[in-house]
């Protein structure tokens, strides 16, 4: 049964009736023995792919198999930042398609995801960094995507909390994308699960995949028994290598933990998303008032969803260097997610050595922003068997062909991305 249309009028009507009329946002399904398409992983990418397969490609016989509950993976653990300020042209095009997806998201999915284009500001602290950001801004301008250079006075006006003259890395300027911002992460998962469920997709929670037998159809062993499917999409983030091993192949992926933190709530002090360029630290303020912040990965292979102490210290140190006033706030919560770090730092949306088995992985620490376009291109690939024009550069074969995506020039070292 559908949850019905959401609107201000509906809210008013339900309020008058004591909120007794709300129905589940999506129908809780049990796994059937066979599907045309099975998607493993009910994170943002799995759910968005299911939605686009049903909506854009007209395939309804789909299951999303999620080992936990919707939103307990990286979807519900990220710091909600969206932007399209990439460097290589194909990446700028892909991520801006995603950003345009966010601009349409709430109308299209009839869900309030608190899309807030408050701007993302990357701070510049050295001459070399300024040259690099200028080059990036020009690359974006060539693709018709907005980017601006901001001088130190402009930075101070945008973010009064920033200490411009910090002794080690004084702020020389900033690189601003006004269309960037934040989106309520849980709401994104709920919106896609609801929309996909309304289109007939089975959202199967608490059902983990524990074995994959190639063939036609592909047989999945799950904690709820076997499920066969004509085509299978793996969208399991940090667990991609484990699932690929079940199907008999290895990936150019290593799994790393990334942490985030949130402070107690305060009055509005931080209007946009700010990234420190002198160390690993970035922050924004949630609508509830907490300062949400994070830094680099823990720097070594890890499947532990908790995060390491040296990285806690490094993130806090960098944050206080940039915004000393934050030292007055208490940190309320800290958590971590396990991420699919690819060898070149860019996603892999691709076919695999196993026929009819497809991949959406390698989203690294930046895959939340990609969800609206990531779902579309993965759905296109699974439905048609050919890559979407926006995602031809994300194929797995690029590593063998020497066509890695040189977004940052860091080499095949996931701990350095």
Ligand X SMILES: Cc1cc2nc3c(=O)[nH]c(=O)nc-3n(C[C@H](O)[C@H](O)[C@H](O)COP(=O)(O)OP(=O)(O)OC[C@H]3O[C@@H](n4cnc5c(N)ncnc54)[C@H](O)[C@@H]3O)c2cc1C
Task: Name the residues that contact ligand X, by CB under 6 A.
Answer: 40-46, 65-68, 72-75, 77-81, 208-209, 235-237, 239, 243, 258-260, 294, 337, 339, 363, 365-369
Residue with tokens 């823990």: 298
Q: Is 335 exposed, middle or buried (0-12, 13-18, 19+ CB in 10 A)?
A: middle
Q: Which of 3, 72, 221, 242 binds another protein (CB under 8 A)?
A: 242
**Window of 28-36, 46-54, 203-211, 294-302 that interacts with another protein by CB under 8 A:** 294-302
From candidates 125, 185, 239, 356, binder to another protein by CB under 8 A: 239
Q: Which residue is nearest to ligand X (CB)?
A: 43
- Residue 77 or 356 with smaller CB distance to ligand X: 77
Select 65 or 191, whichever has its Cβ closest to ligand X. 65
Residue 152 buriedness (CB in 10 A; 0-12 / 13-18 / 19+): middle
Q: How would you classify the pairing of strands 62-65 and 173-177? A: unpaired
415 binds, among another protein, ligand X, none (CB under 5 to 8 A by kind): another protein
Which one of another protein, ligand X, none interacts with residue 155, CB within 5 to 8 A by kind?
A: none
Residue of 168, 250, 288, 328 that binds another protein (CB under 8 A): 250
Query: 310 is in the binding site of which of another protein, ligand X, none (Cβ under 5 to 8 A by kind)?
Result: another protein
Is residue 9 a contact residue for another protein (CB under 8 A)?
no
**Going along 29-150, which residue ranges are E strands?**
34-40, 62-65, 81-82, 120-124, 148-150
Of the candidates 406, 36, 32, the one whose C-alpha atom is nearest the C-alpha of residue 217 is 36
The Cα 27–Cα 64 span in angstroms is 12
Q: Applying CB under 8 A, which of residues 302, 315, 352, 361 lies at the interface with another protein?
A: 302
State the CB neighbour count (10 A cutoff) for residue 246.
17
- One DSSP character per residue, 173-205 reads EEEEETT-EE--HHHHHHHHHHHHHHTT-EEE-
Q: Which does 337 bind (CB under 5 to 8 A by kind): another protein, ligand X, none?
A: ligand X
When asked if residue 66 is in the footprint of another protein (CB under 8 A), the reply is no
Residue in 69, 153, 157, 304 binding another protein, rule: CB under 8 A = 304
CB closer to another protein out of 275 and 360:
360
Written as one string, the DSSP assignment of 257-291 is EEEEEEEEE-SS---SEEEETTTTEEEEE-TTSEE
Site for another protein, rule CB under 8 A: 239, 241-242, 245, 250-255, 299-304, 308-310, 313, 343, 399-400, 412-415
């Amino acid at each position: 049964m559908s949850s019905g249309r959401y609107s201000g009028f509906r809210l008013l009507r339900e309020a008058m009736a004591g909120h007794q009329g709300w129905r589940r946002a999506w129908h809780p399904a049990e796994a059937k023995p066979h599907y045309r398409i099975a998607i493993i992983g009910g994170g943002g990418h799995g759910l968005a792919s299911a939605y686009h397969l049903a909506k854009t490609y007209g395939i309804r016989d789909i299951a999303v198999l999620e080992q936990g509950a919707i939103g307990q993976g990286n979807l519900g653990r990220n710091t909600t930042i969206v932007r399209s300020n990439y460097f290589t042209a194909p990446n700028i095009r892909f991520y801006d398609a995603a950003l345009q997806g966010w601009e349409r998201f709430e109308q299209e999915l009839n869900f309030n995801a608190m899309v807030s284009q408050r701007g993302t500001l990357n701070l510049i602290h050295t001459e070399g960094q300024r040259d690099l950001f200028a080059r990036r801004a020009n690359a974006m301008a060539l693709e018709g995507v907005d980017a601006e250079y901001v001088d130190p006075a402009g930075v101070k006006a945008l973010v009064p909390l920033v200490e411009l003259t910090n002794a080690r890395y004084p702020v020389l300027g900033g690189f601003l994308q006004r269309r960037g911002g934040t989106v309520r992460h849980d709401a994104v998962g709920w919106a896609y699960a609801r929309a996909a469920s309304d289109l007939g997709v089975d959202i199967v929670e608490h059902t983990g995949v524990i074995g994959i037998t190639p063939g036609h159809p592909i047989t999945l062993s799950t904690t709820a028994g076997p499920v066969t499917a004509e085509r299978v999409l793996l969208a399991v983030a940090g667990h991609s290598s484990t699932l690929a091993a079940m199907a008999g192949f290895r990936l150019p992926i290593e799994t790393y933990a990334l942490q985030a933190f949130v402070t107690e709530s305060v009055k509005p002090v931080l209007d946009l998303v700010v990234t420190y360029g002198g160390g690993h630290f970035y922050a924004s303020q949630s609508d509830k008032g907490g300062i949400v912040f994070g830094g680099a990965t823990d720097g070594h292979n890890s499947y532990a969803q908790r995060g390491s102490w040296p990285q806690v210290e490094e993130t806090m140190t960098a944050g206080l260097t940039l915004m000393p006033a934050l030292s007055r706030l208490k940190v309320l919560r800290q958590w971590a997610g396990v991420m699919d770090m690819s060898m070149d730092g860019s996603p892999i949306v691709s076919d695999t050595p196993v026929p009819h088995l497809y991949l959406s992985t390698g989203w690294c620490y930046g895959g939340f922003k990609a969800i609206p376009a990531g779902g579309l291109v993965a759905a296109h690939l699974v439905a048609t068997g050919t890559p979407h024009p926006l995602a031809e550069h994300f194929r797995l074969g690029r590593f063998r062909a020497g066509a890695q995506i040189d977004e940052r020039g860091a080499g095949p070292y996931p701990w350095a991305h």
